[in-house]
Amino acid sequence: MMAQPVYLDYNATAPLRPQVIAAMAEALAQTGNPSSVHRFGREARRRVEDAREQVAALIGAEPSMVTFTSGGTEANALALTGLGARRLLVSAVEHDSVLKAAEGAEVIPVTAEGVVDYDALAEMLRRGEGPALVSVMLANNETGVLQPLDRIADIARANNAVLHCDIIQAAGKIPLDVKALGADLVSLSAHKIGGPQGVGALIAVNGALDLLPLLKGGGQEKSKRAGTENVAGIAGFGLAAALAAEGLAGMAQLGEWRDAMERRIQAMAPRAVLFGAAAPRLPNTACLALPGVAAQTQVMSLDLAGVMVSAGSACSSGKVKASHVLRAMGAPPELAGSAIRVSLGWNSKPGDVDRFLEVWRSLARRAGLIENETAAVSAA
């Protein structure tokens, strides 16, 4: 009998929390357009506004700052295009939803640990002309590396630039206060915290910014995002945010499990490479390469053994390709092409890491990379 599948791909999407499923089912059973003034409409509006408060509370924002969108991709696109013609500067390790929304943007280099090169950013802003928008994510989706947003914000402010920050991976994993973060615009997504797919938000921390909507029509979301709100999805987002806030203390334990896993990997296979391990990271994320074994081979072998992980970002229509993030960090193509991501989350258990190590060990042994059989046996 095959063991229960182990899910270690929370950075791609987190399982829906049972309470969220129940809340969404209740909202779906309720008729009413939140723009209608009758009782049913007012009840739908209440769900939306309650969720707005819950999402704002997770990140230390005000409810009035929150504009609901169809997801993180739309939130990023609205931030990058909503201010009109501006110089765009984006870090080399951004998610594709930023890189492709900002085609033609100036690319900010990063260090070998994946941290933005401050001097390069300052020089790029100084030498350019016209108003600029800088987009730097708080936590990388592939490596978990955290950017020191306070320093980046200082550089942006010193050069009169607007700062957008994608905090999609960080939300619900580390405590956040967007007012202290220093960003003017912040993007969120529901499905990374145990909410539904297809719902996100853009938070306008600097309310003085006048964003032009991507979608035009009705006056929903204060005319920032036309279209009848996805009431059930938004309600699920709100409850997921509230539950994520309650579970923040438990994220430290995930960090202990992740760190123990990496120590065991290094002990049994010293030639394995851990990316970003010397930089501050999210507690739930590990990015590791098994030299000589293609990422696709690792992902498929782990899948066949009932362990679900990713190679790079999971937002590329199922494609497994060498990570642009790792390439920007200076990893050779062959090493970047052998990297996988392990990410834990709200429903992870200690045995999940043990099961991953058991299967990963067999891959490493077949590749001739196991150098410490004692450590290998203890990983089983």
Residues catalogued as catalytic:
315
Residue 261 to residues 125, 353, 379, Cα–Cα distance (Å) = 41, 7, 9
141 contacts 11 by C-beta, under 8 angstroms: yes
Nearest to 144 by CA among 123, 119, 120, 174: 174
Q: At what angle do helices 350-366 and 251-268 cross, to 10 degrees?
A: 20
83 contacts 212 by C-beta, under 8 angstroms: yes
- Structure letter (DSSP) for residue 210: -
Strand arrangement of the beta sheet that strand 66-69 belongs to: 66-69, 200-204, 185-189, 162-166, 132-135, 87-91, 106-108
| Rounded (10°) CA dihedral 93, 335, 312, 2 | -160
Enter the tokens of residue 242.
């509230």
- Structure letter (DSSP) for residue 291: T
CA angle, residues 55, 56, 57, in degrees to nearest 5: 90
